[in-house]
């Protein structure tokens, strides 16, 4: 009987909102050293920064930028959802908050992708 309850809990939208929030946070934490390395290029001179910026014009890098924006939006929306659940009294809206967070994340990422 316990096994059935575990499977039901994993199919709940709140569980998936939790997973997306945790995975996006870990992925952003892994990206942070690369970001600081890229910023360090500016300290090494204009030539080094310019060569790095030319490298970032590749399609794969542009796609990765879109992924970073998606991760940021998902993590931001998930954090807002958690704050709302903690401080507001509308517990029946948990599924709706998860859906709104997902929609916000996709909308932000698509807006960024179309802006490229």
Q: Which two tokens stand for residue 60?
A: 């794969």
Beta-carbon contacts of 18 under 8 Å, excluding residues fewer than 6 positions away, are 78
Per-residue pLDDT reduced to its tens digit, 101-116 = 888 888 888 888 888 5
CATH number (domain holding residue 69): 1.20.1300.10
DSSP 92: G
Contact 97, 81 (CB under 8 A): yes
Per-residue pLDDT reduced to its tens digit, 36-79 = 988 888 888 888 888 888 998 999 998 999 999 999 999 998 89
pTM: 0.67
- Number of domains the chain contains: 1
Residue 13: domain span: 2-115
Q: CA separation (Å) from 24 to 21, 33, 38, 90?
A: 5, 15, 21, 25
User: Which pLDDT score is estimated for 4?
Assistant: 56
Greater model confidence, 86 or 65: 65
User: Which pLDDT score is estimated for 116?
Assistant: 56
């Amino acid at each position: 009987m316990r096994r059935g309850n575990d499977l039901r809990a994993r199919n709940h939208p709140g569980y998936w909102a939790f997973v997306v929030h945790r995975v996006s946070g870990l992925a952003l934490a892994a990206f942070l050293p690369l970001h600081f390395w890229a910023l360090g290029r500016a300290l090494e001179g204009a030539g080094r920064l310019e060569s790095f910026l030319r490298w970032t014009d590749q399609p794969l890098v542009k796609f990765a930028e879109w992924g970073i924006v998606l991760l940021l939006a998902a993590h931001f929306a998930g954090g807002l959802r958690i704050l709302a659940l903690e401080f507001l009294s509308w517990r029946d809206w948990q599924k709706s908050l998860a859906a709104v967070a997902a929609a916000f994340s996709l909308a932000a990422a698509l807006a960024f992708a179309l802006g490229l």
